[in-house]
């Protein structure tokens, strides 16, 4: 009986409660309004809206239908998390791409 009680005490003390805290750090992204694309500077990945799947997709290389060059307008975006596209509606309003290729950036 004593052995059973000792075993229960050891088993109870071996069980520890751990709490995991999620810390969300701010990432620096670039937003390309002409292409509606985000670039994660730390990972080197792009986020773009894939029309056929109607989902935002993360890739290292953009599809050939999306072209970004050194002269493409880009704006730094600080976002807490890994899904910068969640603020896309706001970003599209803030950095409105006109048909002639110019960008009307509110607040810049």
**Whole-structure pTM value:** 0.69
How many domains are there within the chain? 1
Could you read off the pLDDT of 1-32 as tens digits, one per residue? Answer: 444 444 444 444 444 444 444 556 778 899 99
**What are 47's strand-pairing partners?**
38, 58
Q: How far apart are CA 33 and CA 23, in angstroms?
A: 29
Could you read off the pLDDT of 49-107 as tens digits, one per residue? Answer: 999 999 999 999 999 999 998 888 899 998 888 889 999 999 999 988 766 656 666 65
- What is the span of the domain harbouring residue 46? 25-105
- Asked if residue 68 is part of any domain, the answer here is yes
- Asked if residue 19 is part of any domain, the answer here is no
**Binning pLDDT at 50, 70 and 90, where does residue 46 land?**
very high
- Asked if residue 3 is part of any domain, the answer here is no
- Asked if residue 13 is part of any domain, the answer here is no
Taking the mean position of all CA atoms in its chain, how far away is CA 49?
13
- Asked if residue 95 is part of any domain, the answer here is yes
- Asked if residue 4 is part of any domain, the answer here is no
- Asked if residue 18 is part of any domain, the answer here is no
């Amino acid at each position: 009986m004593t052995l059973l009680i000792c075993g229960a005490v050891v088993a109870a003390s071996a069980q520890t409660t751990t709490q995991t805290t999620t810390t969300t750090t701010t990432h620096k992204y670039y937003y390309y309004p002409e292409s509606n694309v985000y670039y994660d500077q730390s990972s080197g990945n792009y986020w773009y809206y894939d029309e056929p799947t109607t989902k935002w997709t993360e890739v290292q290389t953009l599809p050939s239908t999306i072209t970004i060059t050194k002269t493409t307008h880009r704006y730094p975006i600080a976002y807490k998390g890994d899904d910068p596209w969640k603020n896309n509606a706001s970003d599209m309003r803030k950095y409105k791409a006109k048909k002639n290729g110019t960008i009307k950036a509110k607040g810049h």
